[in-house]
Amino acid sequence: MATPSLAQEAGLDRAIGKALFERPWVPAPSSTRANDGLGPLFDARSCSACHPGGAGRGATALDDQGRPDGLGMVLSLLRADGKPDPVYGHRLETMTLPGVPAEGAIGVAVEDGKRIPRADELGYGPLDQATRISLRAAPDLRGRGKLELVEDAAILALEDPEDRNGDGVRGRARRFDTPEGGSTVGRFGWKASHPTLKGQASEAFSLDLGLSTPLRPEPWGDCTTNQEACRNAPHGRDAEGEPEISDAIVQRVVAYLKGLKVPESEPDRRGAKLFASTGCAACHRSSLPTADGGTVALFTDVLLHDMGDELADPIGVPGVSASEWRTAPLAGLSRSLARDDGLLHDGRAANVAEAVRWHGGEASGARTRFEALSARDRRTLLDYVSSL
């Protein structure tokens, strides 16, 4: 029998990763240990439930009561010291297993177009006084894994924290210390919270599904010591204490995500020219160079930018202020618009024009130039961005 080639092995890993991404996980104990370990607290039963259509953006619609209409939005619990809420942890999980009290439900009020989240039906009493909440939409993951091909130096070369060129844009990279004593750049997540896709995937397994991994080994996921029933519920670790999700599973999910193609669009030179002249491209860079001499076209610079008070979280976290956000990649935007998935970190904007008008801080100049365009040019620019 012929030995599989490296390309065949990579293709098999991606196929397995896709199956794992779409797999509904079940609580422990189950007849098949490889499927169990869900919860005890969780937000979904599979990765694809919040990232449908091959790892797309999650649903952000609200029903008449201000509840999420489907899966794809979560409540992050934030503290200035970076620590979890002493009772609820880093996330308000909305689902639970039998015998484990539920944490609560997501509620959203809309005032002047702004989404104001609240934690409803809290099962363990009020949040700590120092804890704040922020609504987050599950981002599009297609093509994002290609960002690992961009070297730190290429990202750091785009920094301009002192605004030396006077364009009002002062992006900066989020740095993380490495075991070797150096630092690496955050690329993934709304706040550039992870340098690697593996780190982001491991956090999602833990917070969204309650599944342990080598990087996040707690079998109870986000359950705190104040949630005894949750901590004591059955989990999927074996007698040797191995995580519920092995490194091999994580690596195959990552292989699947890395193999997803960057969404492509038909080039529109006039739209691209307006995109640059208004200043949109100062942050949403059409491409970044990769270590192998190629490029990855996602329309981001991966830097943190101050986006003003209207888009700010209620509180900052260590290393990132409340109003700083990583430049969101725009590639694949057309698909999100076709599905009526709201834009921005909390889904508040129904279209590109609304999203632009929420931009403040370092993006104020680009917004002003956008608003000054003629109706024809504005339409051309909006059509261009909406086609990405």
- pLDDT tens track for 16-41: 999 999 999 998 876 565 667 899 99
pLDDT in tens, 257-269: 999 988 777 778 9
| Closest alpha carbon to 195 in 157, 150, 161, 160 | 150
Mean pLDDT of the region 156-171: 95
Structure confidence at residue 6 (pLDDT): 66
Most confident of 10-14, 246-250, 265-269: 246-250
pLDDT reading at 316 higher than 90: yes
pLDDT in tens, 76-104: 999 999 999 999 999 999 999 999 999 99
Most confident of 9-23, 250-264, 340-354: 340-354
Structure confidence at residue 31 (pLDDT): 56
| pLDDT tier at 161, thresholds 50, 70, 90 | very high
For residues 363 and 236, which has the higher predicted lDDT (pLDDT)? Answer: 363
Mean pLDDT of the region 291-303: 95
Distance CA 75, CA 96 (A): 15
| pLDDT tier at 240, thresholds 50, 70, 90 | low
Give the predicted TM-score (pTM) of the model: 0.94
The tokens describing 287, both together, are 């491409």
| pLDDT tier at 357, thresholds 50, 70, 90 | very high
Structure confidence at residue 252 (pLDDT): 96
Mean pLDDT of the chain: 93
pLDDT reading at 242 higher than 90: no
Structure confidence at residue 137 (pLDDT): 96
3-state secondary structure string, 144-206? HHHHHHCCHHHHHCCCCCCCCCCCCCCCECCEEECCCCCEEECCECCCCCECCHHHHHHHHHH
Top CATH class of 144-180+261-386 equals mainly alpha
| pLDDT tier at 178, thresholds 50, 70, 90 | confident
Which residues 6+ apart lie within 8 Å of 8 measured at CB? Answer: none
- Spell out the domain ranges in the chain: 6-140+193-258, 144-180+261-386
Backbone phi, then psi, for 364, in 5-degree steps?
A: -60, -40
pLDDT in tens, 39-72: 999 999 999 999 998 888 988 999 999 999 999 9
Instruction: Outline where 260-358 has alpha helix (H).
Output: 269-277, 333-338, 352-358
Asked whether the beta carbons of 174 and 191 are under 8 A apart, the reply is: yes
